[in-house]
Amino acid sequence: MNTKVWLVDKSVENKNGYPQLEEAAALLRQKQTVAFPTETVYGLGADATSDEAVAKIFEAKGRPSDNPLIVHIASKEQLDSMAAYIPPVAETLMEMFWPGPLTLLFPKQKSVSDKVTAGLSTVAVRMPAHPLALALIRQANVPVAAPSANRSGRPSPTLASHVYEDLNGRIPGIVDGGPTGIGVESTVLDCTGDIPVILRPGGITKEQLEEAVGQVLLDPALKDETEAPKSPGMKYTHYAPKAPLTIVEGSREFLQDLVKQRKKEGLRVGVLTTEENQHFYEADVILPCGQRSDLATVAAHLYDVLRSFDDAGVDVIYSEAFPGEGIGIAIMNRLTKAAGHRSISEK
């Protein structure tokens, strides 16, 4: 299969949308897969109402079919065809955060492919805040199921080149809209119960949600790998570089001692750090991932840095830990998954 790349400038739109997207939109209508940018990461999309189309997502990614997908929409009318019921708290959240990096769980309509929901009675839906994603969904005129556009288990793609690296020859096309913005996936929120529950932390923080609707809980399954997944992207090891990654809870000196030990063993060692700390370490590869004083920059660069360690050919990677608040919750969630829950504490 030849994978075509459409380079589209998101700032150049006319009254008919983006003419460069017509071929990609036609492929979606024809039950094919297309990768496209969102404000979080690149997604691999297919018609959410078609079992045939959705099956091609799992095949291209090598993704287990018991892992549910998020449906992306461009209008409230499309939500009505997906959700059997819209709770009042969801109305408030949509008003506040849509379009944006917030995915909401709803009781599903029969029109949604069971392959999208992995047999669950709920469907995860969001409206992305990216002009090319919205235009592509409108021009295709179908709701689009889309996980991240990477091989299953790899770091999510924040550039079209990441998608090409993983999926060239496996999908018909990639819409290249440049780098994504937020860099970690959307927050997934179950608002079908009395108190909303975060199933996956992401681009909208717990603090932002609580300011909008009051109490919000974190799903205990975020810490329990034996729980069945109610949210996309939470069951299996994800985001992993090729070299084993370990999160280090402790001082810079403690992390540097670990680096020295592994270098004595003849290993090529990488360190994931921040701009503030990068000059402290003596390792083979030191990659800063944004600023500790601005965790949004860490989120934006996290996946790109994880992929860069592959290019650098390291044997092991140590990562600093980040504060577990705000978007730091999402950063630590992704790092923990990438590390396969490997961590070392100084205490």
Residuewise pLDDT in 10s, the chain (347 residues):
999 999 999 888 777 779 999 999 999 999 999 999 999 999 999 999 999 999 999 999 998 778 899 999 999 999 999 999 999 999 999 999 999 999 999 999 988 999 999 989 999 999 999 999 999 999 999 999 999 999 988 999 999 999 999 999 999 999 999 999 999 999 999 999 999 999 999 999 999 999 999 999 999 888 765 555 555 555 555 788 999 999 999 999 999 999 999 999 999 999 999 999 999 999 999 999 999 999 999 999 999 999 999 999 999 999 999 999 999 999 999 999 999 999 999 97
* Chain centre distance of CA 317: 21
Give residue 172's pLDDT.
98
pLDDT of residue 229: 52
How far is C-alpha 182 from the geometric centre of its chain's CA atoms? 10
**Residue 70 near residue 54 (C-beta atoms within 8 A):** no
Q: By CB neighbour count within 10 A (0-12 exposed, 13-18 middle, 19+ buried), where does 169 fall?
A: exposed
Stated pTM of the model? 0.93
Strand partners, 176: 7
Evaluate whether 190 touches 197 at the Cβ level (below 8 Å).
yes
303 contacts 180 by C-beta, under 8 angstroms: no
Question: Cβ distance 82 to 109 under 8 Å?
Answer: yes
| Torsion-angle region of 248 (φ positive above 0: left; ψ -120 to 50: alpha; else: beta) | beta
Structure tokens at 200: 């996956």
Residue bearing tokens 């992704």: 334
SS3 289: coil
Identify whether the C-beta of residue 207 lies closer than 8 Å to the C-beta of residue 69. no
User: Distance between CA 274 and CA 207 in Å, rounded?
Assistant: 24
* DSSP letters for 226-248: TSPPSSTT-SS--S--SS-EEEE
CA distance 221 to 210: 20
What are the helix (H) ranges across 62-143? 76-80, 88-97, 114-117, 131-140
AA letter at 70:
I
72 — phi, psi (to 5°)?
-105, 130
Dist CA 83 CA 190 (whole Å): 13
Instruction: Answer whether 220's CB lies under 8 Å from 190's CB.
Output: no
Residue 17: what pLDDT? 78
Distant-in-sequence, close-in-space partners of 139: CB < 8 Å, separation ≥ 6: 17, 18, 21, 22, 25
What the block records as the tokens of 296 is 């949004």
| Torsion angle of C-alpha atoms 185, 186, 190, 192, degrees rounded to 10 | -140
Residue-level pLDDT at 144: 98
The C-alpha atoms of residue 240 and residue 340 are separated, in whole angstroms, by: 8
Structure-token pair, residue 203: 């681009």
